[in-house]
Amino acid sequence: MDQKEDRSCVFCEIVAGGAKAHRIIEDEMSLAILDINPFSRGHCLVIPKRHVPWWHDLTEEEVESLFRVARTVSQKMMRAYAPDFVAIYARGRRIPHTHIFLVPTYDGDVLDRFFNALEGFQEGTAELAKLKGDEELVKAADRLRKA
């Protein structure tokens, strides 16, 4: 493997072939594997082959690869399992190697309930309600544009 790897990282070990994984598809820069702690049948992780803790530190080419592989796997999930949708989110806190979760999701399942609860929290708290006022939105947009 010619890209930087971290032998203490389970995902780097998988990429290098030193740890077991159920590989789904891969290209030169990314690999899709089944998650060993799935939220539903077919739950996959898409990882860059290079050890990069945070997705926003990937190169443009790696981002393109990561999302191209994620789209292909999501299409496979739709054909194989016919979920209502495929949830996609990035995490990386527990395992500091960028990874995208792809989870076939159905109405009322654990992930659907979680995101419904999260949306309810987002819409219903006084603290977050302050953030959706026009003045706050203008400030946030301006701050992000200048950063």
Radius of gyration of the chain (CA): 18
Residues 63, 102, single domain; the answer is: yes
What pLDDT score does 127 carry?
79
What pLDDT score does 1 carry?
38
Residues 25, 54, single domain; the answer is: yes
Per the structure, the count of domains in the chain is 2
Residues 56, 120, single domain; the answer is: no
Residues 56, 119, single domain; the answer is: no
What pLDDT score does 119 carry?
84
Residues 147, 84, single domain; the answer is: no
What pLDDT score does 50 carry?
97
- Assess whether 99 carries a catalytic annotation: yes
Residues 101, 113, single domain; the answer is: no
The model carries a pTM of: 0.83
Q: Give, for all 147 residues of the chain, the pLDDT tens digit.
A: 334 555 689 999 999 999 999 999 999 999 999 999 999 999 999 999 999 999 999 999 999 999 999 999 999 999 999 999 999 998 767 899 999 999 999 999 988 998 888 888 877 778 777 888 889 989 999 999 999
What pLDDT score does 7 carry?
63
Name the residue range of residue 55's domain.
1-106
Residues 142, 87, single domain; the answer is: no
CA distance 63 to 57: 9
| Residue 44 near residue 77 (C-beta atoms within 8 A) | yes
Residues 135, 87, single domain; the answer is: no
Residues 19, 77, single domain; the answer is: yes
Q: Which residues contact 132 (CB under 8 A, 6 or more apart)?
A: none
Residues 34, 11, single domain; the answer is: yes
What pLDDT score does 5 carry?
53
Q: Which of 47, 45, 36 is nearest to 12 (CA)?
A: 47
